[in-house]
Chains A and B, each alone.
Chain A
Amino acid sequence: MNAETKSTDAFEPKIVAFVCNWCTYLGADLAGTNRLEYPANIRILRLPCTGRVDFNLIVKAFEIGADAVLVSGCHPGDCHYTAGNFHARRRWDLFRELLDTVGIDLNRVYFSWISAAEGAKFQKLVTEIVDKTREMGPYEDYKKLVAES
């Protein structure tokens, strides 16, 4: 096997990021305009607010082959809609408990606050998630489940 085919066969994690329109999306944009490089493994989906992130979207992301999921929005107090992220925070807290009982790998579900000014934080976090997921390997449990459906 030559070096070229080896690199295409290597596992490249797929990360789905649900980000809010007002903070993290702009943070990602800032990372771009500042020429901060981050891995291309991340697929950004822009939603109006983290309060809009239906927990079912996280499950759906795993169904369609995500190896990890990131949900990110405005810092508490900065929400464009005043309290969307507060509502989201309480919901995620409970949702994590449920995922834990069902046996979903919580190391593959990330939550963060990234403001429009934190391009560097976005770059750092995404790089970290991709590195960690690469280390953990593909989410075989869920992929197997989908393959058997």
Chain B
Amino acid sequence: METELRNAIRKLLEEKTVDVAIGYGRVGVNGAVGATFVTNPDDVDRLVWNNECRQNLATHLTRAEIKKLGKPAIVVKACDARAVVVLCNEAQIKREDVYVIGVVCDGIETADAAGNKTGALMGKCLSCVEHAAKNVDLLIGDEAAAKALDEKNAPNAKSVGHYEKLAKLRAMSQKERFEYWREQFSKCIRCHACRQNCPLCYCNRCVADKNRPTRIDTSSSLKGNFAWNILRAFHLAGRCVGCGACAAACPAGIELDLLNLTLANAAEDQFGYVSGKELGELPLIGTYSPTDKEEFIR
């Protein structure tokens, strides 16, 4: 698959279909996998594909410094492909301006604090029912195998992985939940890695960086951490595609994706809305229906 991916990208670069390929490479210390940008067809061997490709590369599509390089080709997993769709739906990029290369993914492994593989799959992968990326220009990998994996996960997709964790959290009392997050958020150092790694956190100037007036504490404090994490999660309400890049990037190991999952669940249960499913879909929060439920309003 890796060779197939490299050959496809070499061809795209040689034929000048694209100017830059955004893929995964061993770029970090100890060979950790991260984003790699290839502009020369001879350099495609730098690209890798394995179960350590945790980042969502779609985050680079909206960055000014990447846009400068010309038309991009991007390597995406199924969850990342949904992020590309949302970026198109929110008019941040044009679909025809990007060449999307989907790879069939059989699950990504989590990493420990030192960045080493743990052998366990990420929560989102345990409940994944979309192993082959959709809305792509080229799909690399065995589609039949992807389908088999989809079917294998489908029966208990909503009861394993981070769904299981969320169910456990929701079963606690309100006070216990507050205590849980209090402990979690007290670890937050406000490095904003969650924001930087999120493909849908694309504001040029984040509200968390504004200090006239200060909406939320700009440095780490317990109340500011609560405000920030609530804000980050809610700005992704009805938008988050569940790629888990935020939680994977968090140096404090806070399970940020549980907050996003809450909102994604609510969007699906109440409005039948799944973010990033189709091109041309209107954003959930940007629209309304006169029949929305309001039994909580007095």
Residues of A within 8 A of B (CB): 55-56, 59-60, 63, 76-77, 83, 86-87, 89-106, 110-113, 125, 141, 145-146, 148-149
Contact = CB atoms under 8 A, between A and B. Distances in A.
A102 B181 contact: yes
B290 interface: yes
A111 B298 contact: yes
A145 B215 CA distance: 17
Given A93-B270, A105-B174, A59 B169 contact: no
Given A87-B288, A101-B177, A103-B175, A93 B182 contact: no
Contact of A102 (B178, B215, B285): B178
B221 A76 contact: no
17 contacts: A56-B230, A59-B230, A60-B227, A76-B294, A83-B288, A90-B271, A92-B297, A93-B292, A95-B234, A98-B234, A102-B181, A102-B229, A103-B176, A145-B182, A145-B226, A146-B222, A149-B224
Contacts of B180: 103
A46 B127 CA distance: 45
A102 B230 contact: yes
Given A63-B223, A149-B222, A98 B263 contact: yes
A105 B174 CA distance: 7
Interface string B63-106: 00000000000000000000000000000000000000000000
Interface residues of B, number: 51
A24 B151 CA distance: 52
A96 B296 contact: yes
A90 B288 contact: yes
Given A56-B231, A94-B285, A95-B237, 7 more contacts: A63-B223, A86-B289, A86-B290, A90-B289, A95-B234, A98-B263, A145-B223
A86 B288 contact: yes
Contacts of A105: 174
B259 interface: yes
B170 interface: yes
A100 B263 CA distance: 11
B55 to A, nearest CB: 25
B198 interface: no
Contacts of A55: 230-231, 234
A101 B288 contact: no
B42 to A, nearest CB: 48
Contacts of A56: 207, 215-216, 227, 230-231
Given A60-B227, A98-B234, A103-B174, A112 B288 contact: no
B284 A145 contact: no
A130 B123 CA distance: 43
B177 A141 contact: no
Interface string B168-197: 011000111111111000000000000000
